[in-house]
Structure 1
Amino acid sequence: MIGPSSDVAGIIAHLETLRSEENISGMARFGIVTDGAIGISNPDMQKIARTIKRDHGRALDLWRAGIREARMLAIYTADPAVLTPAEARGWSEDFASWEIVDTAADLFVETPFWQQLVVDFAEDDREFVRRTAFAMIAGAAVHRKDEPDDTFITYLPLIEAHSTDPRNFVRKAVNWALRNIGKRNRTCHAPALKLSEKLAASSDKNARWIGKDAVRELSGEKLLARLRG
């Protein structure tokens, strides 16, 4: 059995008892990098995280283990109030899968320095590090409800600047960030839709795809009704 007092070795030993080659194959079909994977589903990983509870020091050690499931547990059990910018940037050096990136982005937006990370990660040319910036914007637009709307509106030029990045995991995150800003509320909707329409008319095929997809969602009757309400 594992619990709050379990060490890294004990946790990894427990994870190995749950190994599933079938799940590993399934993950690969969804584009999840399975190097070092044990094959445990995220709902099961979240149950394990609740069992072992938050422990920031142990989370850092779990990350260093280099195993997919250990790293997911590291993200789930790290403390955003204690996490340092250097630790977050250190983790980003290992980013190689959209799943890890998007999960870590949820943790990073809970930190007091999340906006600086967005700037730093967007400037980084590595595909999964840059994706992190836009996954963070997308997550923050939904979860940081007390954040001023201007925070998100001021990210629109950053979205436009990277809308021509042709790499799949970047352009999908840029699109995601744009759509989530537009869906946040009426204040954010208008400028996000305006940018979406601009990108939809771009001569760049990547920007055009991002814009057209965002326009389609931000012009939907269901969304417009919610925003009017």
Structure 2
Amino acid sequence: MHSDDTAPGVNSVLERLLSAKDPLLAQALTRLGWPPSAVLGVDSATVEQLAREIGRNHVLARALWSEGFRETRLLAIRLAQPAEADAAMLDDWVHQVQHNELAAYLTEHLLVKASAARSRAPSWSTAQQPLVRAIGYELLTRLNLDDEELSPDARFPGYFTLSGLSDQNVGAPANAWVRGWRSVIRYLGRRNRRAGQKAVRRAHEALLMWEQDKVERAQAGRRRPGG
């Protein structure tokens, strides 16, 4: 494994990737939904081999992700140190995902290993963006399967208190994000008995919160001039 001072720089890595690009693969990837400007046309096996040669390097990973290409981001995911990936970085990466392939790769190779991702699971799984929401659901599923021995609160810190959602939905109607939250905890509850019991209680609380929001918005509408 290379240390930070001996690992290749971004330009060197880009040269390696460009030397391995395949125009036919690039065309195939664009037909599968990748933006043409985000594809070099390098197969995943080559990316994996390069990741093994370089080893974990968090600084290089962040720089490669910023390049924006499919291949540099796949490589960045493999080079990133899960222990050094904070919630802000993970949130940025998740919201910058451009394709299902990258979403699945990010979840499997980094998010399930990064403890900071647990606190972000609630907001990701109720996000408006389909890819972000898909990442949130997949992460919930993986954590339920891998961490069966943990209590729901330990597995998803803040998840059952709504605190993981309210700060991320400032300005949004409460019914919009509470509705999403309820659907997620039902999904989560079907996969774990202890989580399911807690989800039922919190779903009732969410319904009360939703009804209260409807009343408050109706009252606010009546107070408007001309209302």
TM-score of the alignment, normalized to the shorter chain, above 0.5: yes
Taking a change above 3 Å as real, the CA distance of residues 143 and 32 of structure 1, as seen in their structure-2 partners, is farther
Rounded Cα–Cα distance in structure 2 between residues aligned with 1:48 and 1:146: 36
Please name the residue that 1:118 is paired with: 121
Identity within the alignment, %: 20
Offset, 1:44: 2.1
Query: Which one has a bigger Cα radius of gyration?
Result: 2
Offset, 1:142: 4.0
Alignment pair present for 1:19 and 2:21: yes
Alignment pair present for 1:58 and 2:60: yes
Deviations 1:133-189 (A, max 9, x none): 01212333344465457859x89xxxxx559x9xxxxxxxx8xxx69x75xxxx66x
Of residues 101-110 and 133-142 in structure 1, the stretch that sits farther from structure 2 once superposed is: 133-142
Rounded Cα–Cα distance in structure 1 between residues aligned with 2:48 and 2:86: 23
C-alpha contact 2:83 2:114 (8 A) present in aligned 1: yes
C-alpha contact 1:8 1:61 (8 A) present in aligned 2: yes
Rounded Cα–Cα distance in structure 1 between residues aligned with 2:150 and 2:99: 28
Rounded Cα–Cα distance in structure 1 between residues aligned with 2:180 and 2:37: 29
TM-score by length of 2: 0.62
Instruction: Please identify runs of 4+ aligned residues in structure 1 that moved more than 6 A.
Output: none
Taking a change above 3 Å as real, the CA distance of residues 140 and 33 of structure 1, as seen in their structure-2 partners, is farther
Please name the residue that 2:48 is paired with: 46
TM-score by length of 1: 0.62
Q: Pairwise CA RMSD of aligned residues?
A: 3.7
Rounded Cα–Cα distance in structure 2 between residues aligned with 1:143 and 1:45: 26
Q: Partner letter of residue 53 of structure 1?
A: G
C-alpha contact 1:34 1:68 (8 A) present in aligned 2: no
Q: How many residues align?
A: 175
C-alpha contact 2:56 2:81 (8 A) present in aligned 1: yes
Please name the residue that 2:8 is paired with: 6
Please name the residue that 1:214 is paired with: none
Q: Provide structure 1 residue ranges, at least 5 long, that are not aligned to the other structure.
A: 156-160, 166-173, 192-229
Rounded Cα–Cα distance in structure 1 between residues aligned with 2:36 and 2:107: 20
Q: 2:69 aligns with which of 67, 70, 76?
A: 67
Rounded Cα–Cα distance in structure 1 between residues aligned with 2:84 and 2:40: 28
Q: Provide structure 2 residue ranges, at least 5 long, that are not aligned to the other structure.
A: 161-178, 197-227
